Structure formats: C-alpha cells, structure tokens
Structure 1
Amino acid sequence: MKLCLSDSSVRHSYFVDGLPVEAAMKSCRQLISRLLPLRKSSTLARVNASSGHVEVQEEQGSPLKYPQVWLRDNCQCAGCFHSATRARKSHWERGPLNIGVSQVGFNQEEQQLEVIWQDKHRSTFDIAWLRERDFGEAARKRYLQEVYKPPAQLWGKSDFEAVRREFQYQDVLQQKAVLKDWLEALAVQGFAILKGAPNDINVAKHLAKRIGYIKRTTYGDVFEVKSKPNAGNYAYLMTPLPLHTDMPYYEYKAGINILHTLVQSESKGGANTLTDGFYVASQLQKQHPQDFEVLRSVPVNWFDIGHDGDDSKPFHSLWRAPVICLDADGGFARVNQNTTKRDSRFSVSLEQAVSWYNAYDKFLAIAQSEAVEFKTQAGDVFVFNNLRMLHGRTAYEDAPGNKRHLVGAYVDWDIIYSKLRTLKFPNAKD
C-alpha cells in the first residue's frame, strides 16, 4: 500500500494506492472487520435488590434469574460437585440456606458467572449451563417436552389413519435412527405397528431387549395369547375381549405391550380394537367435568387371582387406584380400565359407589364411540402404551384350520424413556 502526496497552490490531496484517502480508509475498515475476531457479547450480573435473585443480563433477551440458594446448592466446584458421578458432595444440613451472595460478576473472557459467598466460598457457572437451567417458562417447557417426555398427541377415531405409524421390524433392530423414531411414536401417538417380523416366538423378546430390559410378570417373561384349555386369563378365551388396559392390579403397571402375531384367524373375528384412553379422559373432562372428577378421585379395587398354566405359581395381585390418574403437572399419567379385573369389593362409601357407576358409564360410552378396528396379519407386531391405550379384540372361532396365536412381552416406561434419551442426547453430561 503506497501513500502519495500531491502539492498545489490550491489544496493538498492525499491518495492511497491511487484512491482518495476517504475511500481508502473505508476499504481498510472493511478489511479489518473481516480479519479481527468478533467481539464477545457484553453480559452483566447483579443481585436484584427487591427479590434477592441473581440476574444475568445478556445483550439479547430477558435476564436469566436464579435463587441464591439454588446457585449455592448447585455449585460446580470440585469441593461441592463430583463430576465423574454427576453428584453433589455437599450435605444439606451443612448447606446453603442462610449463606448469601457477597459479590457477583461476569467474566467476559471465560463466559462465566462468578460468585463470592458470605463465607468466602467461590463458585463459577458457565453461561451455557445456566441458560439450560433458566427458571423462565420457555426454558422449563423446553426441558419437559424435549428431554423429560415428549408431549402426547391425543387422537380420536377420525384421526386414526393420520396418526398411525408403521415401521419395518428389521430396521428397528438394526438402525438407531429408526429405533428412536419408533420409541417417539409410542410416546407421542401411543402405538405403532411393525411389519415383516419373522415366524419366531422370540420376536417380542428381541424387541424388548433392543429397548433395554423385559418386564417379568406373573405371566412370565413372555406370554402367549391363544385359546387354551382351563384358561387362567379372560384374554385366552375366544369371546369378545372388551376395551381394557393390562394389569391395573399392578402398582407398577407394564408400560408397553408388544404383541407379535404369529398366526391370525382367517375368520371374520379376531380383529384388534383400540381407543386412546387419554383422549377419552379429555373428552369426559370437557363434556362432564363432575364425572371426570369422580373417576379421577374415587379409588377402584383391581385384582388378579389364580395361576397361568398347570406349572405356574399361584398369584393374588391387588391395587387400588382411580380410573384416571394425573401426574405432578396435572397431565394424564395412567388410565386403569379392565372390567374383567375390577373387584366386586368396592372399598368406598355408598354415595361414592353410585356416582362412580354413573361417571364410569359415560367414560365407557365415549371410549366405545371412539374405538377403531383393524386386524393384524402374521408378521405384524402391534405395540402400544399400556398406561394410555384401551385395547380389545373381537370374537373369533377356534377350529383345527382356523387358529389365532400371538406372543407378547412388556417393557416399563422408565426403561423406554431412558433408551430414547440416550438416542436423542448421546453426548449428554448432566
């Protein structure tokens, strides 16, 4: 780059590489802006005088706010936190309730909140870590829906074909991306169908192990659904099987039901019936709020007494719970419905019993009106959320040339959600 000076009696003119100096300086500024590193955003930290919360204000957006006690409880220093096990070292009885912030600041270079406490303890928190734990509504909602559990998509009869998802059995076994999509379908829509499974009695067991661990019940690791002499379960009969959930008599009810069709009846019967129990509960809440409250609050006695086959151990299972169960946030968590497994002992008052039957009748009316019917074929695996879906079967005829044979297994939702998170967040640290 050359600087030239032109002298005249009228004025002095400056040139840089033949350009007027003003144009040259503009070109230099553009060049420097491309070469120099971007300036880090200016972030401020302070203690709000009125609320006492620590606030971190970035250049964009609303301030991030944190209770002082929460920051001290979650100090990430080596003395307070064991990184290898992702666990606190501190004991609450020696903890942070009455120790306040003495000084707070933000390190622009390290992009960290720095806190000095009244007892001289020092804490640092990465800004990315803080953003993920913001107490604002948007961050809380994002965590609950993206990490904790995907929100359920409730559906009625008219929505069935739109929400129905099908996957290839071998793809689920061999491809992590397909496994993730299948588990998300079970979490969101509540059911899915796998196609192309081999004629192998271990298919349900292979799928359970692909997720994690099979749930063993009084009916074994796996169970067979077919006509049996001296049947110990109503499902083993050829009569119509009303809409129900499996095992309402278990406190820890099986999460998903995996039903592999080995042989399908060629008669008109033996078709699957299905209703979204959460959708039924939501309609009852809208149309009959008082009846919804009855089914949400009145406990029902569910039972299962007997044995499964001549060689099995006897069982006597009991659990009391309402038809509609809510979670900690007021959402639908579990539906209990099984007419064949509802105990004749109803441990409530006379008045509650009468109001319950009236509410129960409305619930079943909605469930039956929203039920869909379809028939799986040999090689299909019908998998559904047993906490949510009411399923059943139409009657069929069992004859030498007309058999129906399914093999099933269960997996708990704790295991399913864990597997889904490892697939979605393989590099998660905490």
Structure 2
Amino acid sequence: MLSCRPLIGQLLGRQFQRHASRSAAVKLLDQRYVELTPSSDARPLKFPSVWLRDNCQCSECFHGATRARKSHWERGPLHAKAQAVSYDEQRQQLVINWQDAHNSSYDLEWLRQRDFSAEARQRYLNDVYRPSAQLWGKTQFGEVTREFRYGDVIAQDAVLCAWLEALAVQGFALLREAPDDVQVARRLAERIGYIKRTTYGDVFEVKSKPNAGNYAYLMTPLPMHTDMPYYEYKAGINILHTLVQSDSPGGANTMTDGFFVAQRMREEHPKYFELLRSVPVNWYDIGHDGDAGKPFHSLWRAPVICLDVDGQVVRINQNATKRDSRFTVPLEQVVEWYEAYDKFLQLVHDESVQFKTRGGDVFVFNNLRMLHGRTAYEDSPKNKRHLVGAYVDWDIIYSKLRTLKFPNAKD
C-alpha cells in the first residue's frame, strides 16, 4: 500500500522509473494492436490501436488545461487505422501515423502508467482508485485499531492522510483529545471536504429526548445497524464526537466489520450469501426531524449485501428498526431469506466488539461497512449522555485522499 507522502512519481511503482535503452522496438499487429518493447530485456507493452487513437494527447484531441478529451460525437475512434508506427529514442515517445493523416505521439512513461497487464491494472485499482480493505474479526480488533490526536488531524496533512487511509483500510479509527466543543464533528467533516446534509440536518445530536423521533434517541439498547440504508446515496462515514459519556455502566459502543461477515457468508454459507446479495429489501424512514421539523418519507430498495462491478462487497444494509414490513419479493423467497438473514445476524453478533468512548473521543467509522450499536444506559440530572455527529460521503473522502497522496497529478 502506498504511504501518505506525495507519491505522483511512484504512481505505479518504482519499477516504472527505469529508462529505455536504444534497443527499443515497436510493431503493428494486424492493425488492431501496437506492441512496444522499451529495451531488449523489458516486457513488451501492448496497446489496442483504437485505445491509442481515442487517447491521442495532441492539442487537437486533448485539452490540457481542463485535462479533458475533445470528443467528437459524430464518430468514435473505432475505424481509425494506423499506417505506420515508430519509436523516437531521443524523446522516448511512441509515434503513430494514422491513415487519415493524423499523427500522434505518446511518452513512454505515460504508456507505462497505462499498461494493460493484470499486474499494472490491479496496482492502479489498489493505489489510486481506492485502498484495499483489511477485513477483521473479533480476535483481530486490537491489531487493527488506529488512534490519532484530533489536533494533529486538523493541523497536519500527513496525519489527515493517515487517518483517512485507516478509515478506508480498517474501516474505523478513534481520535483522542478533542475539545469540549459542539463544532468538532463539523470541523472534521470540513477538514476533509464537504459535510453531507440529511433529513436530520448537517450536524446531529445523539441524546435521549422526550417523544423521540428516532430509535437512537432512546436510552434502550441500540441494535447493530448501519445508518440510512433507506438512502440511495448512503452516508459514507459517521463522525461521532463524545461530549458527555454516561456515568452508568451502559452507553458502550458495539461494532462488527460487516465486510468480514459477508466474506464468511460467501465462504461458509454460499446459498445464504446469494440470497442476501440478490433479494431486495425495502428500507424506510418516516417522521419529522431536522430543520423546523419538516416531514420526510425516505425509501430505498436494496439487498443486505451489495457488490460492485468487480464482485467485491461495497455496502452493507442492515437496520431492523428501518426495515419495512412491506417485503416486495415473490412469496417463495421470503422464508429462505429469513433463514439467511438470521445466519447473518448470528455472525454479526459473534464477531462484535465492545468499547466505551470517553469525553473528548471521536469515533469515526465507515457507514457502508461497519455495523454499530450501543448498550443501554441511564441518564441522571447531573449526567446526560451527549454525542454530536456528522456525515461525509466516500466520494469526497477518496478525492481528498488522492489529492494528499498525488498532489502533482495531471491526469
């Protein structure tokens, strides 16, 4: 994994910094591919001709100031044919003369960073697209716990980068020594980028309330859940600042790595995994909260386990208090789904950890991944548990992480 120092010179590994020798060779293969061998002992780099034409970097095809391709909607590059290919040793550039009299040149380093080999593609996905998640169970909790000082995150970009990377990799982190200030959660969100505004406002308070409109505002046990499964664009991270912790025995945080549980389901109970991956559930939230008590009726239909285009788990939906009694699936799927769901919840319970924050702690976690809850507690006239929270979307977090790691990136 890349560290949080500026790394644009290491975008795809130090091995790409070697220089080509004068024995570079280039050839055109059946008008479909161009193969470049930078030196006699180097692995050939092979690129589709259509991709090369589509990504010509000349001023006629590419607008450098906006880092944007100049797209001509009438025709794409599919039928563009290369007439001749060569290699400019002095400039270390691949040169292509196209049949329509257009000429293109590509820097060798630029090509290496876009190599189509499986190794290079995976390296880009891990280092630039997003860091790989480190899955963990109950027994690994102590090993994966990362702690940072609030003041360091606010003041030092290197610490901010390390904190965001911990959220991306381990899924959670603890900040210590935050001030007794209701603006802490907001400042952290704005340190990253932009706060996510929801029906509960941009910053929300978690404390017991009379006539509570949300289950979290009761003093009863809060079951393991993810926030806002009823949102299509679900909040990415949850920032929870403990202003006042309960003096009662309760009020402890509970947490489980949902991606780890999903992986166990995939390996140990594949039939159940498939049901939780494919059967949609109706998640909803109806009530009054936020600004001036405006009414809301949020609804999103999605399975418990959500996968991305690569088949990796990217989102867990689980909130028993927000699972609709309307189950809009065929009748014959219902009983089997409940069996799978029961096994999922059993594993969530088996892998859960418990810890109790204290005043000045900020517990931050990946809301797409971590199931979290709370044990019951009791307020008293002199001690009322009080947390302040905020959300930030992962698009904003990953963007910030990349600008910290690759401050000189051009494209």
In structure 2, distance between residues paired with 1:92 and 1:198 = 55
Q: 2:38 aligns with which of 44, 58, 65?
A: 58
Gaps of 5+ in 1: 1-37
Q: Which is further off, 57-66 or 319-328?
A: 57-66
Q: 2:395 aligns with which of 397, 405, 414?
A: 414
Shift of 1:407: 0.2
Match of 2:215 in 1: 234
Counterpart of 1:293 in structure 2: which amino acid? E
In structure 2, distance between residues paired with 1:351 and 1:400 = 52
Counterpart of 1:118 in structure 2: which amino acid? Q
1:261-280 → structure 2 map (5 Å cutoff): 261-280=242-261
Match of 2:112 in 1: 131
Match of 2:178 in 1: 197
Shift of 1:401: 2.6
In structure 2, distance between residues paired with 1:361 and 1:39 = 59
In structure 1, distance between residues paired with 2:321 and 2:76 = 53
Shift of 1:359: 0.2
In structure 2, distance between residues paired with 1:326 and 1:78 = 39
Matched, 1:403 2:384: yes
Judged with a 3 Å threshold, the aligned counterparts in structure 2 of structure 1 residues 67 and 241 are, in CA distance, closer, same or farther, namely same
1:16-415 → structure 2 map (5 Å cutoff): 40-49=21-30, 52-59=32-39, 60-308=41-289, 311-415=292-396
**Identical amino acids, percent of aligned pairs:** 70
Secondary structure in 1 matching 2:112: helix
Larger radius of gyration: 1
Counterpart of 2:60 in structure 1: which amino acid? G
User: Is the 1:232–1:309 contact (alpha carbons within 8 Å) kept by the matching residues of 2?
Assistant: no
Counterpart of 2:250 in structure 1: which amino acid? G
Match of 1:22 in 2: none
Please provide the CA RMSD for this pair.
1.2
Shift of 1:92: 4.2
Secondary structure in 2 matching 1:352: helix
Counterpart of 2:206 in structure 1: which amino acid? V
Aligned residues: 392
User: Is the 2:201–2:290 contact (alpha carbons within 8 Å) kept by the matching residues of 1?
Assistant: no
Secondary structure in 2 matching 1:311: helix
Match of 2:9 in 1: none
Secondary structure in 2 matching 1:180: helix
Residue by residue, what CA displacement relative to the aligned partner does 1:27-81 show, whole Å, maximum 9, x if unpaired?
Answer: xxxxxxxxxxx994421111124x8311111223321111110000000011000
Judged with a 3 Å threshold, the aligned counterparts in structure 2 of structure 1 residues 39 and 130 are, in CA distance, closer, same or farther, namely closer
User: Is the 2:236–2:391 contact (alpha carbons within 8 Å) kept by the matching residues of 1?
Assistant: yes
Judged with a 3 Å threshold, the aligned counterparts in structure 2 of structure 1 residues 46 and 141 are, in CA distance, closer, same or farther, namely same
Residue by residue, what CA displacement relative to the aligned partner does 1:242-268 show, whole Å, maximum 9, x if unpaired?
Answer: 000000000000000000000000111
Secondary structure in 2 matching 1:254: coil
In structure 2, distance between residues paired with 1:339 and 1:61 = 56
Secondary structure in 1 matching 2:359: coil
User: Is the 2:56–2:105 contact (alpha carbons within 8 Å) kept by the matching residues of 1?
Assistant: yes
| TM superposition outliers: structure 1 runs of 4+ over 6 Å | none
In structure 1, distance between residues paired with 2:20 and 2:182 = 63
Judged with a 3 Å threshold, the aligned counterparts in structure 2 of structure 1 residues 39 and 131 are, in CA distance, closer, same or farther, namely closer
In structure 2, distance between residues paired with 1:61 and 1:309 = 61
Shift of 1:90: 3.0
Judged with a 3 Å threshold, the aligned counterparts in structure 2 of structure 1 residues 269 and 62 are, in CA distance, closer, same or farther, namely same
User: Is the 2:199–2:290 contact (alpha carbons within 8 Å) kept by the matching residues of 1?
Assistant: no
In structure 1, distance between residues paired with 2:293 and 2:103 = 61
Shift of 1:321: 0.1
Work out which structure has the larger RCO, using CA pairs closer than 8 Å and 6 or more positions apart in sequence. 2
In structure 2, distance between residues paired with 1:310 and 1:147 = 38
